[in-house]
């Protein structure tokens, strides 16, 4: 179907992008973490910043937490704080990669005591989920080896399965595991969940409460990511996205900054698979770090970039496309798609914002609001939040 304006506005009304709490903390590379004045010092302040992104985009009312980065004494207080700001707590990300014990892995570690510790960390995440009302447990593991022979690849797959099974079976019926893959980093020889195939096979072996997460920065250069989207949506196994963009590795840059056409192609598969609908339950999350730029505008721009590409996908002239495809008219088919991609969707998005009472020029209006200056004044002292702190 080709969407008319009202239908496009309906899609935009329902398209929520979940923001990572860690995007609001300081981050950097292994060479340097730069700090910014006004950076949040705790999860409460991070959620205040999330609420700003939502205020200026109308599309970012959910925040994803990372445990233990976002540990607080009282999660019901954090939930209440979020709700007062119009924000919902969404996915809980487990973190079993920053403890000395996990040097040789977490859920795949050769030592059963360390595996126990890593499983328990996930069971704690499930407790947090119960308190905050979250349904999604996102698992990304840094597990792998650096040298051939360091450990048995197949034994590690078995350990992974056993560990995940225990976590899966501890979930409530309406919860799910989202298993994220990445083909490199920090392990250099092999990674235990390197690709969508491994994630899929592991999820399928668990039962019906596990799906795959696709982080756009976790593939070899040149990988056709939209093909993976098509395959996983076809199987009903795509649970979530971590959107970001990259020039070289897992750069975690602003979505749509490096390759807007790739973002368009990915979203196009989502649209054609009907995976925007609430029943498909695909979670559209950002997983980004703002090493240099201000974090709130960085997140606002990411949301706008995703919306711009999404609207282009909805503007594809479906009848002409199907006709050209049926007739084997390659160039017309390609042109129909490229016409939509070449459309400037910003005026339509501005109109949508006007009609919904959302600030017309999100980045400029946020800058003019003085929020960042105020945060700089208010957030003096204390320890700024950061990736890994």
Residues near ligand PSV, by CB under 6 A: 22, 93, 140, 180, 182, 215, 242, 250, 287
Positive or negative: CA dihedral 296, 88, 349, 272: positive
Nearer to Mn ion, 177 or 333 (CB): 177
User: Which residue lies nearest ligand PSV, judged by its C-beta?
Assistant: 140
Number of shown-chain residues binding Mn ion (CB under 5 A): 3
180 burial (CB, 10 Å; 0-12 / 13-18 / 19+) is buried
Contact partner at residue 182 from Mn ion, ligand PSV, none, CB < 5 to 8 Å by partner kind = ligand PSV
Contact partner at residue 181 from ligand PSV, Mn ion, none, CB < 5 to 8 Å by partner kind = none
Is residue 195 part of the contact set for Mn ion (CB under 5 A)? no
Chain residues 241-260 in contact with Mn ion, contact rule CB under 5 A: 242
Binding window for Mn ion (CB under 5 A); candidates: 36-44, 111-119, 171-179, 239-247: 239-247
Q: Least distance in Å: CB of 386 to ligand PSV? A: 11
Contact partner at residue 9 from Mn ion, ligand PSV, none, CB < 5 to 8 Å by partner kind = none
Q: Least distance in Å: CB of 262 to ligand PSV? A: 17
Nearer to ligand PSV, 195 or 215 (CB): 215
Contact partner at residue 151 from Mn ion, ligand PSV, none, CB < 5 to 8 Å by partner kind = none
Dist. CA 27–CA 322, nearest whole Å: 45
Nearer to ligand PSV, 85 or 178 (CB): 178
Q: Least distance in Å: CB of 377 to ligand PSV? A: 29
The two structure tokens encoding residue 5: 């304006």
Q: Least distance in Å: CB of 183 to ligand PSV? A: 11
Inter-CA distances, 180 with 65, 239, 298, 318, Å: 15, 10, 24, 32
Closest by CA to 286, choosing from 308, 272, 305, is 305
Q: Least distance in Å: CB of 39 to Mn ion? A: 21
130 burial (CB, 10 Å; 0-12 / 13-18 / 19+) is exposed
Is residue 48 part of the contact set for Mn ion (CB under 5 A)? no
Q: Least distance in Å: CB of 94 to ligand PSV? A: 8
Per-residue contact flags (x/-) with Mn ion for residues 280 to 299, judged by CB under 5 A? -------x------------
Q: Residues 218, 117, 242, CA angle at the centre, nearest 5°?
A: 20
Nearer to ligand PSV, 93 or 302 (CB): 93
Q: Least distance in Å: CB of 151 to Mn ion? A: 24
Residues linked to residue 63 through DSSP beta bridges, in sequence order: 19, 89
Q: Cβ–Cβ contacts within 10 Å for residue 191, how many?
A: 21
Given the structure tokens 């695909």, which residue do they identify?
A: 282
What's the Rg (C-alpha) of the chain?
21
> Three-state DSSP class for 47?
helix
Is residue 215 part of the contact set for Mn ion (CB under 5 A)? yes
Half-sphere exposure of 332 (CA within 13 A, CB side): 13
Contact partner at residue 93 from Mn ion, ligand PSV, none, CB < 5 to 8 Å by partner kind = ligand PSV
Nearer to ligand PSV, 25 or 359 (CB): 25
Inter-CA distances, 222 with 107, 183, 227, 246, 262, Å: 30, 13, 12, 12, 11
Q: Least distance in Å: CB of 227 to Mn ion? A: 19
What is the crossing angle of helices 112-132 and 75-84, to 10°?
40
Q: Least distance in Å: CB of 287 to ligand PSV? A: 5
Dist. CA 293–CA 291, nearest whole Å: 6
**Site residues (CB under 5 A) for Mn ion?**
215, 242, 287
């Amino acid at each position: 179907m080709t969407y008319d304006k009202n239908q496009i506005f309906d899609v935009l009304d329902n398209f929520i992008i979940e923001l990572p709490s860690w995007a609001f903390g300081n981050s950097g590379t292994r060479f340097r973490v730069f700090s910014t004045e006004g950076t949040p010092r705790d999860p409460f302040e991070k959620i205040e910043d999330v609420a700003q992104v939502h205020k200026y985009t109308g599309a970012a009312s959910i925040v994803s937490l990372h445990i233990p980065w976002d540990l607080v004494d009282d999660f019901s207080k954090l939930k209440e704080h979020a709700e007062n700001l119009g924000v919902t707590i969404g996915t809980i990300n487990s973190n079993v990669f920053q403890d000395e014990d996990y040097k040789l892995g977490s859920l795949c570690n050769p030592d059963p005591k360390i595996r126990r510790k890593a499983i328990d960390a996930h069971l704690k995440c499930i407790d947090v989920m119960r308190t905050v009302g979250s349904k999604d447990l996102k698992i990304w593991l840094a597990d792998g080896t650096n040298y051939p022979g360091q450990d048995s690849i197949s034994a590690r797959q078995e350990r992974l399965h056993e560990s995940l099974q225990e976590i899966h079976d501890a979930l409530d019926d309406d919860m799910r595991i989202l298993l994220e893959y990445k083909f490199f980093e920090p392990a250099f020889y092999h990674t235990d969940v390197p690709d969508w195939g491994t994630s899929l096979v592991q999820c399928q072996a668990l039962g019906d409460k596990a799906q795959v997460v696709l982080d756009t920065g976790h593939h070899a250069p040149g990988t056709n990511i939209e093909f993976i989207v098509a395959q996983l949506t076809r199987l009903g196994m795509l649970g979530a996205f971590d959107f970001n963009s990259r020039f070289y590795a897992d750069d975690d840059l602003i979505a749509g900054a490096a390759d807007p056409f790739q973002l368009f192609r990915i979203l196009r598969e989502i649209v054609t698979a009907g995976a925007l609908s609430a029943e498909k339950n695909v979670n559209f999350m950002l997983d980004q770090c703002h090493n240099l730029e201000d974090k709130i505008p960085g997140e606002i721009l990411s949301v706008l970039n995703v919306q711009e590409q999404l609207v282009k996908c909805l503007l594809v002239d479906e009848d002409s496309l199907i006709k050209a495809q049926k007739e084997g008219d390659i160039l017309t088919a390609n042109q129909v798609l490229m016409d939509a991609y070449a459309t400037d969707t910003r005026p339509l998005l501005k109109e949508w914002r006007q009609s919904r009472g959302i600030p017309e020029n999100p980045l400029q209006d946020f800058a003019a609001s003085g929020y960042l200056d105020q945060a700089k004044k208010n957030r003096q002292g204390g320890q700024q939040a950061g990736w890994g702190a």
